[in-house]
């Protein structure tokens, strides 16, 4: 990393610009690879749960190229825009939703060596940046000049704000135990015992709040198909729509990775199985989390807006607060 620091110190020019672009490629390809196959996996998993096959035409009997074909289709699709839409905002909205979802990923440590930015305040950074994409959603809802989209956008804001609070609060317990906001340190602290065992309440609250943050069933109100048709992105088509979709799955990646890091011990192996490489451990734990998200989606119906708010403020938040208190007492007494 020496050479990188050197380049950063230099005056900006074409050459170091190219370097900076090049070093982001591995991260980007990991994420895009994940998104491609996460969409396929979701369709397959839900397909099997619902007694269907899921995609099995494009790319062999497992439909391995289905998502690629879908993305290509979206790329060449006509990009329509409502006549009365607010043009600059309409174009900007997918980008606002999309950029923060990628920006989060740099802070997430996949293994000890495969960490793109080892930040001192990693957790804070992740949570702060993830909150930004709400702005993209409400912008999309407003700019589309569509009543359904507007309602979807408003719902998205209300939901994101109310669930961000318990999300952060439930992570505080982990921070207390680890004594650091640095995600790498948090993982290292879990070498023997993952925090899911020390912080079961925190884990449950975090998981529920994360589901809400991801707009997934049972909290998929902003894009409730049966009520609002598609919510804030109802007027979008082609690649702009794909960007919303993409950011949704990138968030899924980010949240699952964050849960893995905070509660499941990241790349730490189960004791005695250390010969399996770190990446495999991370991928394994991470995949389980993703699978649970998909499983929930196939099982549960949707909440109503007012019930959602009630649950967030009256149940999750007090529980998360109690968890902080409890963790503090525990830490003081035993550690």
Binding map of another protein across residues 250-289, x = CB under 8 A, - = no contact:
----------------------------------------
Q: Decide: is 204 part of the binding site for another protein (CB under 8 A).
A: no
Give the nearer residue to another protein in terms of CB position, either 109 or 222.
222
Tell me which stretch binds another protein (CB under 8 A): 53-61, 180-188, 198-206, 297-305. Answer: 297-305
Give the nearer residue to another protein in terms of CB position, either 5 or 51.
51
Give the nearer residue to another protein in terms of CB position, either 10 or 50.
50
Single residue of 69, 103, 165, 305 touching another protein by CB under 8 A: 305
Least distance from another protein to the Cβ atom of residue 88, Å: 24
Single residue of 307, 314, 315, 325 touching another protein by CB under 8 A: 307
Q: Decide: is 10 part of the binding site for another protein (CB under 8 A).
A: no
CB 321 within 8 A of CB 172: no
Single residue of 86, 112, 188, 227 touching another protein by CB under 8 A: 227
Q: Decide: is 299 part of the binding site for another protein (CB under 8 A).
A: yes
Q: Decide: is 221 part of the binding site for another protein (CB under 8 A).
A: yes
User: Alpha helices of the chain — where are they, by DSSP H?
Assistant: 2-9, 14-49, 66-76, 87-105, 122-130, 133-143, 147-178, 183-189, 195-198, 200-213, 225-228, 238-263, 278-299, 305-310, 317-334
CB 68 within 8 A of CB 36: yes
What Cα–Cα distance (Å) separates residue 249 from each residue in 44, 102, 114, 163, 259?
15, 11, 21, 19, 15
Please list every residue from 120 through 179 that binds another protein, using CB under 8 A. Answer: 147-148, 151
Sign of CA dihedral 257, 258, 264, 265: positive
CA dihedral 12, 16, 17, 18 (to 10 degrees): 160
Joined together, the tokens standing for residue 61 give 């009997």
Residue 213, Ramachandran bin (φ over 0: left; ψ between -120 and 50: alpha; else beta):
alpha
What DSSP character marks residue 314?
I
Give the nearer residue to another protein in terms of CB position, either 92 or 305.
305
Single residue of 225, 274, 322, 329 touching another protein by CB under 8 A: 225
3-state DSSP assignment of residue 154: helix
Please list every residue from 15 through 54 that binds another protein, using CB under 8 A. Answer: 46, 49-52
Give the nearer residue to another protein in terms of CB position, either 80 or 299.
299
- Residues found near another protein in the complex (CB under 8 A): 46, 49-52, 147-148, 151, 217-218, 220-221, 224-229, 298-307
């Amino acid at each position: 990393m020496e050479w990188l620091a050197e380049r950063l110190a230099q005056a900006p020019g074409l050459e170091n610009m190219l370097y900076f672009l090049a070093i982001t490629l591995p991260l980007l390809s990991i994420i895009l690879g994940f998104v491609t196959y996460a969409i396929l996996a979701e369709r397959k998993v839900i397909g099997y749960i619902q007694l269907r096959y899921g995609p099995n035409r494009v790319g062999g009997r497992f439909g391995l190229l289905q998502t690629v074909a879908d993305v290509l289709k979206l790329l060449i699709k006509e990009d329509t825009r409502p006549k009365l839409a607010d043009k600059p905002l309409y174009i900007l909205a997918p980008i606002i939703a999309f950029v923060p979802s990628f920006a989060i990923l740099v802070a997430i440590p996949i293994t000890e060596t495969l960490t793109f930015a080892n930040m001192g305040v990693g957790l804070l950074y992740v949570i702060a940046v993830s909150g930004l994409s709400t702005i993209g959603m409400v912008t999309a809802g407003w700019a589309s000049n569509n009543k359904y989209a507007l309602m979807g956008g408003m719902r998205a804001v209300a939901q994101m704000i109310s669930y961000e609070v318990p999300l952060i609060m439930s992570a505080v317990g982990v921070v207390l135990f680890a004594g650091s906001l640095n995600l790498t340190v948090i993982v290292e602290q879990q070498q023997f015992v993952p925090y899911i065992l020390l912080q079961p309440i925190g884990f449950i609250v975090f998981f529920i709040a994360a589901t809400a943050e991801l707009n997934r069933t049972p909290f998929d109100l902003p894009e409730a198909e049966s009520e609002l048709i598609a919510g804030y992105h109802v007027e979008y088509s082609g690649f702009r729509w794909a960007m919303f979709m993409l950011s949704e799955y990138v968030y899924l990646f980010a949240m699952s990775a964050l849960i893995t890091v905070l509660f499941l011990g990241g790349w730490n192996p189960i004791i005695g199985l250390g010969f399996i490489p770190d990446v495999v451990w991370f991928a394994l734990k991470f995949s389980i989390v993703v699978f649970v998200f998909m499983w929930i989606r196939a099982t549960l119906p949707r909440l109503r807006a007012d019930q959602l708010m009630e649950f967030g403020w009256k149940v999750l938040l007090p529980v998360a607060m109690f968890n902080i208190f409890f963790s503090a007492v525990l830490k003081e007494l035993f550690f």
